[in-house]
């Protein structure tokens, strides 16, 4: 009887340990030794993410009405909060991005990366705008880089990115196109209230090489050809990086 009792106790203990090793949650969760999953949500603050802007003249931050902040969304999404990033494209291009560095990757290794981002858009489909549509002409991108993404002076007093993010509807080696800013509403209905939209790069494989410190900078961004104001609210997202 005593032997059976000890065997049964060991069985329960091993089952408990297995359950514990498979469970748990958090903003940075490791699913396996070669896979890192990062979940983030802007429900309380910007969670360490930082906004930036490029593709506009140096010193023209005020005229381009550039702003970013943690904010409550307008009706009918007033129960939500997000990372608001806004700017007025006064020429033919404006790049707005959020970035954050994550550690814990294997140094000098290639990772296949899956992106998912949920944001709020007030741009209906099928509208006509100066330079392009307020929805379809605002390209949504996601990417990763070893160096910190920063705007730099190109020598002609224009702020450009120090990473290869492509231009407008074209991606680059450090950022890929995952969709656009248009929501599901029809422009004919003249409903410019915000609506949630989620984009992924399921049909666009992407990989990045880590540096010697095992870190990567991740970005989500808008690359605009619409010559007016775009205000995006980032709500939440997910990044899954698998070593290849």
Residue range 79-114, pLDDT digits in tens: 999 999 999 999 889 999 999 999 999 999 999 999
Checking if the pLDDT of 30 tops 90, the result is no
Q: Is residue 214 part of a domain?
A: yes
> For position 171, what pLDDT does the model report?
98
Report the pLDDT value the prediction gives residue 92, as an integer from 0 to 100.
Answer: 82
Say which residue, 41 or 19, is predicted with more confidence: 41
Q: Is residue 47 part of a domain?
A: yes
Burial 114-133 (b: 16+ CB within 10 A, else e): bbbbbbbbbbbbebebebbb
Task: Read off φ and ψ for residue 14, nearest 5 degrees.
Answer: -65, -40
How many other C-beta atoms are found inside a 10 Å radius of the C-beta of residue 235? Answer: 22
Q: Is the pLDDT of residue 10 over 90?
A: no
Q: Say what the pLDDT of residue 91 is.
A: 82
By percentage, how much of the chain surpasses pLDDT 70?
86
- Is the predicted pLDDT of residue 17 greater than 70, yes or no? no
Q: Which residues span the domain enclosing 209?
A: 26-243
Q: Is the residue at 224 inside a domain?
A: yes
* Cα 94 to Cα 98: distance, rounded to the nearest angstrom: 14
Half-sphere exposure of 25 (CA within 13 A, CB side): 2
Per the domain annotation, does 129 fall within a domain? yes
Q: What is the reported pTM?
A: 0.86
* Cβ atoms < 10 Å from Cβ of 78: 10
Q: Residue 164: what are its φ and ψ, rounded to 5°?
A: -90, 95
- pLDDT of the residue at 1: 44
Please state, rounded to an integer, the average pLDDT across all residues of the chain. 90
- Would you say residue 14 lies in a domain? no
Domain count, the chain: 1
Distance CA 97, CA 166 (A): 13
Q: Is the pLDDT of residue 18 over 50?
A: no
Which residues are 104's β-sheet partners?
Answer: none
What is the mean pLDDT of the segment spanning 166-188?
Answer: 97
The CATH number of the domain holding residue 38 is 2.60.120
Look at residue 16 and tell me if it is in a domain. Answer: no
Q: Does some domain include residue 2?
A: no
Determine, yes or no, domain membership for 108.
yes
* 59 Rama class: left (phi>0) / alpha (psi -120 to 50) / beta: left
Q: Characterise 188 by phi-psi region: left (phi > 0), alpha (psi -120 to 50), beta (else).
A: alpha
């Amino acid at each position: 009887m005593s032997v059976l009792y000890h065997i049964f106790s060991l069985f329960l203990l091993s089952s408990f340990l297995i359950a514990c090793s498979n469970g748990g949650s958090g903003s940075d969760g490791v699913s396996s030794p070669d896979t890192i999953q990062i979940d983030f949500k802007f429900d309380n603050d910007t969670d360490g993410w930082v906004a930036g802007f490029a593709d506009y003249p140096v010193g023209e931050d005020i005229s381009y009405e550039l702003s970013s902040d943690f904010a409550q969304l307008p009706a009918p999404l007033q129960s939500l909060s997000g990372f608001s990033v806004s700017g007025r494209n006064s020429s033919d291009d404006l790049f707005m991005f959020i970035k954050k560095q994550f550690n814990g990757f294997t140094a000098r290794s290639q990772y296949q990366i899956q992106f998912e981002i949920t944001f709020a858009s007030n741009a209906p489909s099928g509208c006509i705008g100066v330079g392009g549509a307020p929805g379809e002409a605002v390209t949504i991108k996601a990417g990763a880089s070893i160096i910190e993404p920063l705007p730099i002076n190109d020598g002609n007093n224009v702020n450009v990115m120090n990473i290869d993010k492509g231009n407008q509807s074209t991606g680059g080696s450090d950022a890929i196109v995952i969709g656009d800013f248009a929501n599901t509403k029809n422009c004919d209905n003249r409903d410019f209230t915000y609506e949630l939209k989620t984009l992924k790069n399921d049909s666009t494989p992407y990989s990045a090489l880590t540096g010697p410190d095992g870190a990567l900078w991740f970005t989500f961004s808008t690359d605009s050809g619409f010559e007016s104001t775009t205000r995006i609210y980032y709500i939440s997202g997910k990044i899954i990086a698998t070593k290849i």
